[in-house]
Amino acid sequence: MMPTDAELVARCLDGDEEAYRALVLRYQDGLYRYALRMVGSPDAAEDMVQLTLIKAYRSLGRCREPDRFGSWVFRILSNRCKDYLKSRQGRETAIPEDWPDPGGDPSEGAERADLLRRVQHALLELPPAQREAFVLKHVEGLSYEEIAERLDVSIGSLKMRVFRAREALRELLGGAW
Amino acid sequence: MVNLHPDLHRYLDGEIPLEALPEELRHEARRWAKLGPVLAALRSVQAPETLAPRVMARIRGTRPSRGLLDALWAPRPVRPIAIAAAAAVAFLLAFPVARLMQERASTTTTAATETAQEPVLVQFVFSAPGARSVAVAGDFNGWEPDAFLLRDDDGDGVWTGLFPVPRGIHKYMFIVDGDRWVTDPYATAYVDDGFGGKNALLEILHLNGRQS
């Protein structure tokens, strides 16, 4: 049976570094996907997540609910991404050429690839709060309750952000799909 | 701006099935369904293989902080706070501090800064007992989270810093412990920050008394 987050955190605090590797491997994919959609750059996203996980390790004793390590580290990352976006206010974020290819069925070809590219572009044009809510809801597949707990916002506010994101995406994508 | 029907939002939230939608909305619902494989593809992205090894290399040989336990054992200066000093702090905290200090700074610095282009020294004050660091970030310093670090030399939990700010109207927030963005509770005006929070506004008048 897999150890819980709380068990792994306790082992880390007792000096077991490999317990932290287990936590990193457990959460790195979701953290990286979130950072990638928020900051728009694979290199910046990897840096964000790396720095976040290092900071989380050093501050591990301040994680008040070790069984919710994932939500706790996510909030550190979310704030770090907001730092980054604030520092880039007014500057355009272009999708780099080396974005990770999600893969999929090659037979779906050019049409799917085109829609994927358009969706990625459109997500980056959303205001950060809407982008964040949409990504967590529709890319990560979290429930409103889970997202509200991570972001520490009300479900009502969250739904409004998701609704506005959908409408904005609909307008941005137009007849492309 | 496109407005989606509330029932369509409910469908996209999984609250109602496609069959419950009126016919005129089903075409739009099927359009959204086309995004399903695209969103699933985005969900399949994984972190680079280098990420975990880099994190482990950076933490190797170090121990995480145990939080309160470390704070209890860590040596820290303890200085008695005079009642007068405490009263002064309470006075400062009771007013819109950034604006008050800006007016004092303007008074003391106008002799040296004769032109409207030169920035004004503004003293920022923030109460955060127990914090390890407090910074102020705003459009006057590119929102850098560690460019303008406040100080709490006597350990009383009141952090202060004197920084140059150009004349005009500026947005800013405080950052506690490097990652917690906090709105100045004593600002006189606020504006949405686009992330669901509020930026405080700081107004520094030009020498002719006009706003920027």
**Helix, strand, or coil (residue A140):** coil
Whether residues A29 and B52 touch (CB distance < 8 A) is answered with no
Q: For residue A102, what are the contacts with CB-CB under 8 A and spacing of at least 6?
A: A116, B41, B42, B43, B44, B45
Q: If DSSP states are collapsed to H, E and C, what string results for chain B?
A: CCCCCHHHHHHHCCCCCHHHCCHHHHHHHHHHHCHHHHHHHHHCCCCCCCHHHHHHHHHCCCCCCCCHHHHHHCCCCCCCCCHHHHHHHHHHHCCCHHHHHHHHHHHHHCCCCCCCCCCEEEEEEEECCCCCCEEEEECCCCCCCCCCECECCCCCCEEEEEEEECCEEEEEEEEECCCEEECCCCCCCEEECCCCCEEEEEEECCCCCCCC
The answer to whether the beta carbons of residues B204 and B165 sit under 8 Å apart is yes
pLDDT score, position B195: 72
Please report, for residues A16, A48, B12, the alpha-carbon distance to residue B53 in angstroms, rounded to integers and kept in the order given: 16, 15, 39
Show me where the domains of chain A are located.
5-86, 106-176
CATH class of A5-86: mainly alpha
CA proximity to A124, closest of B175, B30, B42: B42
Show me where the domains of chain B are located.
1-61, 120-204
Global ipTM: 0.87
Average pLDDT on B49-68 reads 85
pLDDT score, position B89: 47
Q: Which residues of A touch B41 (CB under 8 A)?
A: 102-104, 116
Return the CATH fold of A106-176. Answer: Arc Repressor Mutant, subunit A (1.10.10)
Residue A151 has pLDDT above 70, yes or no: yes
B34: number of Cβ within 10 Å: 12
CATH architecture of B120-204: Sandwich (2.60)
Whether residues B39 and A89 touch (CB distance < 8 A) is answered with no
Residue A90 has pLDDT above 80, yes or no: no
Q: Which residues of A touch B181 (CB under 8 A)?
A: 79, 82-83
Residue A98 has pLDDT above 80, yes or no: no
Q: Which of residues 106-145 of B touch A (CB under 8 A)?
A: 137, 139, 142-145
**Helix, strand, or coil (residue A65):** coil
Q: Supply angle C-alpha A20, A23, A27, rounded to 5.
A: 145
Whether residues B34 and A25 touch (CB distance < 8 A) is answered with no
Q: Compute the distance between CA of residue A26 and CA of residue A5 in angstroms, rounded to an integer.
A: 9
Whether residues A87 and B55 touch (CB distance < 8 A) is answered with no
Q: Compute the distance between CA of residue B17 and CA of residue B188 in angstroms, rounded to an integer.
A: 49
* Residue among B44, B49, B50, B59 with most chain A CBs within 10 A, to mutate: B59
Maximum distance among all Cα pairs of chain A, rounded to whole angstroms = 57
Q: Which residues of A touch B1 (CB under 8 A)?
A: 167-168, 171
Question: Residue B185's pLDDT band (boundaries 50, 70, 90)?
Answer: confident
Question: Residue A69's pLDDT band (boundaries 50, 70, 90)?
Answer: very high
Q: Which residues of B touch A91 (CB under 8 A)?
A: none
A91 touches chain B (CB under 8 A): no
Residue B86 has pLDDT above 80, yes or no: no
B27 touches chain A (CB under 8 A): no
